[in-house]
Chain A
């Protein structure tokens, strides 16, 4: 059974940093692109970043470019999102997803709140 478990969310002040993690199991992690999708409270979905199988290719949406960095450790079956210079508009539930021309499996999400 495919499982994705996010962790690392919490309350952080504007300008602060946070590192999200996503542990994967139930599939060959190193064979799949992976993605981060966020959902602001009461709002829709926004795909934030995507990374290829060996971490050599990644893409970011404009609002997070230069501030967020996606990475992975295939030996640990883990996906990461380093978030720097956080802003109030980054407040959201962050989901990791297994990528198959769209996320076919999603984690339960981790809440990031940016507030003073």
Chain B
């Protein structure tokens, strides 16, 4: 199985400041069709997960533009340009290139 490793696992941030989460996969996520199926999800406390980013860098419907994704191959990053209070929660990367689909361990974002 593809192992997804996130860092850090805990991320205290100051409101208005940027934040960055790293996700590394144990093998390339480039699919035979040429796409890289790397997703980012946000799970606010007590809520279901919500997809923020798909195919590395595409924002989902209604996702604020302060969220951005980047990377390639096995190394990916989620960035929040200016953290807001509503961004508190756990963030997961997930690969959908290989079966079984696998998630990272999650990164807990909290306000300092």
Chain B contacts for A44, CB-based, 8 A: 92, 103-106
B100 and A104 form a contact (CB under 8 A): no
Residues of B within 8 A of A (CB): 35, 37, 39, 41, 48-51, 54-55, 60, 92, 94, 96, 99-106
Closest residue of chain A to B90 (Cβ to Cβ) is A44
Contact of A102 among B54, B100, B105 (CB under 8 A): B54
A-B contact list, 18 entries, CB within 8 Å = A44-B92, A44-B105, A44-B106, A45-B94, A45-B103, A47-B101, A61-B100, A62-B100, A95-B48, A95-B49, A101-B35, A101-B54, A102-B51, A102-B54, A104-B51, A104-B54, A106-B49, A106-B50
Known: A45-B49, A95-B48. Is A59-B100 also a contact (CB below 8 A)? yes
Residues of A within 8 A of B (CB): 37, 44-47, 50, 59, 61-62, 95, 100-109
Query: Closest approach, in angstroms, between the C-beta of B34 and any C-beta of chain A?
Result: 13
A59 and B99 form a contact (CB under 8 A): yes
Query: Closest approach, in angstroms, between the C-beta of B37 and any C-beta of chain A?
Result: 4
Chain A contacts for B55, CB-based, 8 A: 101
Nearest 6 pairs between A and B by C-beta?
Answer: A102-B39, A47-B101, A106-B48, A102-B96, A101-B96, A101-B37
A102 and B48 form a contact (CB under 8 A): no
A108 and B48 form a contact (CB under 8 A): yes
Query: Closest approach, in angstroms, between the C-beta of B33 and any C-beta of chain A?
Result: 10
B103 and A46 form a contact (CB under 8 A): yes
Query: Closest approach, in angstroms, between the C-beta of B13 and any C-beta of chain A?
Result: 21
Closest residue of chain A to B102 (Cβ to Cβ) is A47
- Bound-state Cα–Cα, A101 to B60, Å: 13
A100 and B54 form a contact (CB under 8 A): yes
Closest residue of chain A to B53 (Cβ to Cβ) is A102
B51 and A45 form a contact (CB under 8 A): no
